[in-house]
A and B are shown apart, each in its own frame.
Chain A
């Protein structure tokens, strides 16, 4: 059973517009969520995180929103840039020492 789900395998957005990547989870014990970005032939790079005590965390062009009641989080990128084209993984963990559970990823393509 997949505890972290990214239901959109791909997303295409025009440069300058907003990209919204979604992630759903089933385990109510998850209290820490992360987004990773992965370019081809490279390992994932940590992007932004949020703990369950917050519902929003912002870092430059990247904002993560957490809706605990819906068990849903989203990553907003605005404005989107061609260099943002990559695969984005959502991950979750429960407690400080538990392992990260990853989603299957969403491939974002930002076109000019």
Chain B
């Protein structure tokens, strides 16, 4: 595996479900990011981890909970989401925070 991978690629969940998105990077990077992309909106930065420490939480609701156990893995735990949370969730990594970012393919999330 090379680059940035994300699983699952597609996820459908109900509002009462708990699920997790996984991101893994094989680039030896130290910074990882979660983005949300909704239709006709700019990419929205959600969270940033630099050397496993969370450095940014962009006013994200608590129903989204990130976890970064090591520099190669990033999770986004989802709980009691709303239909408006349906979007493409993209993970990215960079050598350190602020460097050029490499993106994963995204997880398309649908909340029913």
Contact = CB atoms under 8 A, between A and B. Distances in A.
Given A99-B48, A99-B56, A46 B101 contact: yes
Interface stretch (A13-21, A57-65, A76-84, A100-108): A100-108
Contacts of A44: 43, 90, 103
B45 interface: yes
A41 interface: yes
A43 B105 CA distance: 4
Secondary structure of the A contact surface, majority rule? loop
A2 B42 contact: yes
A97 B42 contact: no
A100 B45 CA distance: 8
Interface residues of B, number: 24
Nearest to B44: A102
Contact of B106 (A9, A42, A91, A102): A42
Contacts, number: 51
A102 B98 contact: no
A93 B48 CA distance: 15
A100 B61 CA distance: 20
Given A97-B98, A104-B40, 19 more contacts: A4-B42, A9-B40, A41-B105, A42-B106, A43-B106, A46-B101, A46-B102, A49-B100, A89-B42, A93-B98, A96-B98, A97-B97, A98-B98, A99-B58, A100-B45, A100-B101, A102-B43, A104-B41, A104-B42
Interface of B: 4, 6, 9, 40-43, 45, 48, 56, 58, 90-92, 97-98, 100-106, 108
Interface of A: 2, 4, 9, 34, 36, 41-46, 49, 89, 91, 93, 95-105
Top-7 shortest CB links A-B: A43-B103, A97-B98, A102-B43, A102-B42, A96-B98, A44-B103, A43-B104
15 contacts: A2-B42, A41-B9, A43-B92, A43-B103, A43-B104, A43-B106, A46-B100, A46-B102, A91-B43, A97-B97, A97-B98, A100-B101, A104-B40, A104-B41, A105-B42
